[in-house]
Structure 1
Amino acid sequence: MMKDLRRLSLPILAGLGLAMPVSSAENAFVTDAEPPVPSSVQAGTPWKEADTPLPPWPRDADLVELVPDGPDSALRYFIDSANLRVGSDDVVRYTLVAEGRGGTRNLSVEGIRCTPKGAYKTYAYGAGERFVPIDSEEWLPLPAHDGERWRHDLWRFHFCIPQAFAPRPKIDMVRSLEGRISPRQNMGFLPD
């Protein structure tokens, strides 16, 4: 039995000797790595956020109610349609009014990016009929949970073109908020 193991181990050891590295002069493979991108492809311009002034205080006549998808909320949400804007950086900027059952209102100026997963940023909060800017450099992911589902709904159903990752025209955003765009148009499919 020991003799048989020695006979088997000799070819294995010989095979290991063949797997030893050869010198670079004897290497038949190209060692220069090719660039990961062809030379004809040029780098794009990185996205840069535009400076945008804060909007004026919203008027009640310009508010369009946003009804979030999902369970009822203790708050009612409104978007100021007069100051809904798409910036040169493709950020949809809007004023949100969140109203409690007692009529108390919280206002914020925010932006949404129409990226594949969406992102939002808060620019200012409303107090005393004027907006107070906040220092926020960071874009945050859109929450999909029930507490702040309205941002996700703005991105998915009202502000962005499905599967194009681009903002809708303002008139279509307002029509969507008012319920005048069919659900099929909001799904990214062509209408009948």
Structure 2
Amino acid sequence: MHLLIRGGLAALVCFSGPVSAQFLADEEANANWKEGEVEFPPAPAESSLREFFVSSASPNTFLIDEQTLSVGEDGVVRYVLVVRTPGGAENVTFEGIRCNTGERRIYASGRRDGSWSRARNSEWAPISDNSYNRPRAALARDHFCDGPAPPRNRDEVLRRLQQSDGANPIYR
């Protein structure tokens, strides 16, 4: 019996070592992470907006501006999000998502004249799947991230968005 317990403990140590080492390496990488320079994009053009599915519970239309989509060397996926309500209101934001930490950041809000207004609170925050963050959760889960890994490049994200064609029946 003691041999079985000792063997089990030895196996646990052997197999958990690489996992915990990876976790510690990720923690260290995140502690040393530095965000790259962020340049505000041009205002979104109607011709470059692509609808994506968020939730059948929301009456709003969610669009991403394909021209502003980028994957930075810092691993941040940046994009312009456009949310349109059935009543005609429109909200435009320039945002970023970090796949490896599951965080989002809003850099700025769009103005009607096409300029940007820097966000007052532009800190990285966890992406939670609540009504406010649901578009970000859908983008991270369905289009941007492979678990904690960011997409390889912009073309990969565009391909994923185009394959979904504005709706993802899996999550309806």
Fold-level match, TM-score > 0.5? yes
What is the aligned counterpart of 1:173 among 130, 150, 157?
Answer: 157
* Aligned residue pairs, count: 138
Which one has the largest radius of gyration?
Answer: 1
- The ranges of structure 1 where at least 4 consecutive aligned residues each deviate by more than 4 angstroms after the TM superposition are none
Distance 1:122 1:137, change over 3 A: closer
2:121 paired with 1:140: no
Specify the alignment match of 1:49 in structure 2. Answer: 35
Measure how far apart 1:131 and its partner are: 1.1
2:110 paired with 1:122: no
Between the two proteins, what is the percent identity of the paired residues? 34
In structure 2, give the amino acid aligned to 1:72: A
What is the aligned counterpart of 2:62 among 70, 74, 77?
Answer: 77
TM-score using structure 2 length? 0.71
Measure how far apart 1:108 and its partner are: 0.3
Measure how far apart 1:135 and its partner are: 4.0
2:57 paired with 1:63: no
Task: Name the CA distance, whole Å, in 2 between partners of 1:178 and 1:104.
Answer: 25
Distance 1:82 1:151, change over 3 A: same
Specify the alignment match of 1:157 in structure 2. Answer: 142
User: More helix by proportion, 1 or 2?
Assistant: 2
Deviations 1:138-175 (A, max 9, x none): 2100011244312111111101123x522242122122
Specify the alignment match of 2:116 in structure 1. Answer: 131
Q: What RMSD over aligned residues (CA atoms) do the two structures have, in Å?
A: 2.4
TM-score using structure 1 length? 0.64
Specify the alignment match of 2:77 in structure 1. Answer: 92
SS at match of 2:41: coil
Q: Give the unaligned 5+ runs of structure 2.
A: 1-20, 166-172
Q: Give the unaligned 5+ runs of structure 1.
A: 1-36, 182-192
